Structure 1
């Protein structure tokens, strides 16, 4: 048994080290702009196949950063595109002409047409608005299959490119990203819960927590070195911080209440999490070094599923309104006393928000009737569009840019 543990520790250290090294430096981008409408954009000239043009237009529309004008009104657009598309190799060559700014060129190429269009739009967004890659980053989510087994899949913001991440024939749930190549999730199998780390680049998986009792709510740090999670080692559900390379854990809370759903601040120094210490789930802030937790003043209703954007420094969460409906609200954490702003004013229950890499949009679940669909929500304009239709999906998590 000791030998097996030693071998596993060596394997775990190698695996974690590989993930840590593959993490790329973060671009220091802060999105603070607020708008009442998007800038208008039109394709002034397009050379290439109609399929290449239609796909590019779909992504430009879906990304939520532009108001598209028809080609006949291209001269009125604030941003004009001239595009050359070569179908062999799916190569986009673009000239972008924004009003009042210098023209610029960019290109994107990929063997898959959808991916090529995602990369092209990401380049345009990066040049115009200085936001990180967004369209080309996958969204992980949970799908229920036969015999109520759950597996983790991913897709892109338009619902395309569905890819199966787990194949456990069990309950795989609570996906969460650290950096773009590392994902953690909770595995329920053989009457036991454990936390699994996935190297998305090499498609390898390793168990990182399997203590007796509860192992859940794992949240990987942006550098992939540490994981915050909920454990019940002594019969009480508390938060712990685990150093993956050293295989050492630090207990962050020690009380009779139930803590869960931690997420990391942009500087990775603070966790926001859920606790029921006042009788209902509420949001609290706690330093990763421990100490006294501070409750966010959001009223007395239930608040769950926090997600903290490293780009905009805004905290999104699902809250129960006075009518009993779940809505998505946002806090600007740069403010000394942030006030919640509800961004989903529509029928249904809106749950499990996760920030997109651009710091403006979120993915969440909208529960309506028998459907639980993924939706893309614009936190600035408070508009939304479906990613799936008539599905039964849960717990989306958008991969970061880096």
Structure 2
């Protein structure tokens, strides 16, 4: 299938998110979404740590390309540090377009995130991406044989932080829309519960679903009022919606088929989930009350672990052949087109959208070892996010919360 090249219009606005240095102007640039604008950053004089941090987040954010010699770049950043103040100027060609001041007292990484976030938010203002470099990725890692816990990392794979420390299986992390809490499935002696924990310390946890049998696949609705979940109170594995503010339990499916991996549409009116009601696992979509059930067109012999982007695309894992591994595919609900987006070797599973609606975090297994990767569904680029000495699973990208 020919790759669609969308056209993005991005505007550099001079309403600074931090202290503006100069009068406002507006410059409009037209570029193909398949080719990032280029940006050059010579560094911060006499501050190698801050220079490297800014260069790193410019490189991994996915929205700019950095030419090696910096020549003929669309944008250039000039920076000067005085004490705890970083003065930064953005140029487009030879034209100076904006400037800001940043406080560096929080450290090089935090300052670098703020710098790159500010540039993204100014250059790609129409995309309304706020605080992208401050978003985080939750995942689970095997800390001991038979034990998995929930961790967080930054978008460059750094700043790894352990969230749970249970001596059991803790899997399927799911972010609340607020970005302040994570839900996950916690295996116990008598069943599987859904637990919610705060991200920031001091951490507080509570059980939010503990019905008899399994409680798995938690997915919080976009407004935070309800949760799609897989339950088996009568030994049938079905899809339910639970009220989180007003208590209720609605059963959406019923039968011998096994359901799994629910996710919400951006408007909260529909739910996508996996079911084996047609034999091989496939993705189905229904209304939030269970009505109007349809099967999602997909490539491959099956389709699992759907993730729904804010602009109407569903990423999923599928096997082109029974004997092979999984690849990542994206179905565009607006154009009705399917596209395989992972190109590298190995098995690609468990996609999760970034808030920018173009990058997907996933698990990649190659030569028997798993690591976390990010796939840019626009440029087709793939980069390794995190590799450790343990197995990594179930990545989930946080929403972007405006700072």
**CA apart distance, 1:45:** 6.6
Q: Which residue of 1 aligns with 2:112?
A: 117
Q: Which residue of 1 aligns with 2:245?
A: 245
Q: Which residue of 1 aligns with 2:400?
A: 401
Which region of structure 1 is more displaced relative to structure 2, 318-327 or 134-143?
A: 318-327
Q: Which residue of 1 aligns with 2:124?
A: 129
**CA apart distance, 1:102:** 7.2
Could you tell me how far apart the structure 2 residues matched to 1:260 and 1:309 are?
Answer: 18
* Larger helix share, 1 or 2: 1
Could you tell me how far apart the structure 2 residues matched to 1:96 and 1:279 are?
Answer: 56
Could you tell me how far apart the structure 2 residues matched to 1:178 and 1:334 are?
Answer: 26
Q: Which residue of 2 aligns with 1:209?
A: 209
SS in 2 for 1:359: coil
Q: Which residue of 2 aligns with 1:259?
A: 259
Which region of structure 1 is more displaced relative to structure 2, 379-388 or 96-105?
A: 96-105
Q: Which residue of 1 aligns with 2:75?
A: 79
Q: Which residue of 2 aligns with 1:223?
A: 223
Q: Which residue of 1 aligns with 2:13?
A: none
Could you tell me how far apart the structure 1 residues matched to 2:192 and 2:261 are?
Answer: 16
Q: Which residue of 1 aligns with 2:154?
A: 156
Could you tell me how far apart the structure 2 residues matched to 1:96 and 1:141 are?
Answer: 35
Spell out, residue by residue over 1:252-284, the C-alpha distance to the aligned partner (whole angstroms, 9 max, x if none): 112221111011111111111101111011111
Q: Which residue of 1 aligns with 2:92?
A: 98
Q: Which residue of 2 aligns with 1:65?
A: 63
Could you tell me how far apart the structure 1 residues matched to 2:331 and 2:81 are?
Answer: 42
Aligned pair in 2 of structure 1 residues 117, 94: CA closer, same or farther (>3 Å)?
Answer: same
Match of 2:361 among 330, 338, 363: 363
**CA apart distance, 1:107:** 4.3
Aligned length: 363
Q: Which residue of 2 aligns with 1:320?
A: 319
Could you tell me how far apart the structure 2 residues matched to 1:390 and 1:155 are?
Answer: 12
Tell me, yes or no, if the aligned pair for 1:133 and 1:357 is still in contact at 8 Å.
no
Match of 2:34 among 26, 36, 44: 36
Tell me, yes or no, if the aligned pair for 1:350 and 1:365 is still in contact at 8 Å.
yes
Could you tell me how far apart the structure 2 residues matched to 1:182 and 1:382 are?
Answer: 31
SS in 2 for 1:120: helix
Tell me, yes or no, if the aligned pair for 2:300 and 2:320 is still in contact at 8 Å.
no
Whether 2:173 is the aligned partner of 1:167: answer no
For structure 1, the 5+ residue unaligned runs are: 1-32
Tell me, yes or no, if the aligned pair for 1:183 and 1:220 is still in contact at 8 Å.
no
Aligned pair in 2 of structure 1 residues 158, 44: CA closer, same or farther (>3 Å)?
Answer: closer
Aligned pair in 2 of structure 1 residues 105, 371: CA closer, same or farther (>3 Å)?
Answer: same
Correspondence list, 1:295-334, <5 A: 295-299=295-299, 301-310=301-310, 312-322=311-321, 324-334=324-334
Tell me, yes or no, if the aligned pair for 1:135 and 1:157 is still in contact at 8 Å.
yes
Higher relative contact order (CA 8 A, sep 6+): 1
Aligned pair in 2 of structure 1 residues 111, 352: CA closer, same or farther (>3 Å)?
Answer: same
Tell me, yes or no, if the aligned pair for 2:351 and 2:361 is still in contact at 8 Å.
yes
Aligned pair in 2 of structure 1 residues 92, 306: CA closer, same or farther (>3 Å)?
Answer: farther
Spell out, residue by residue over 1:105-134, the C-alpha distance to the aligned partner (whole angstroms, 9 max, x if none): 344446132122122211111111132322
In the superposition, the TM-score normalised over structure 1's length comes to 0.85
Match of 1:140 among 134, 138, 141: 138
Correspondence list, 1:371-382, <5 A: 371-382=369-380
Aligned pair in 2 of structure 1 residues 257, 246: CA closer, same or farther (>3 Å)?
Answer: same
Aligned pair in 2 of structure 1 residues 162, 299: CA closer, same or farther (>3 Å)?
Answer: closer
Aligned pair in 2 of structure 1 residues 253, 120: CA closer, same or farther (>3 Å)?
Answer: same
Give the RMSD, CA atoms, in angstroms. Answer: 2.0
SS in 2 for 1:340: strand
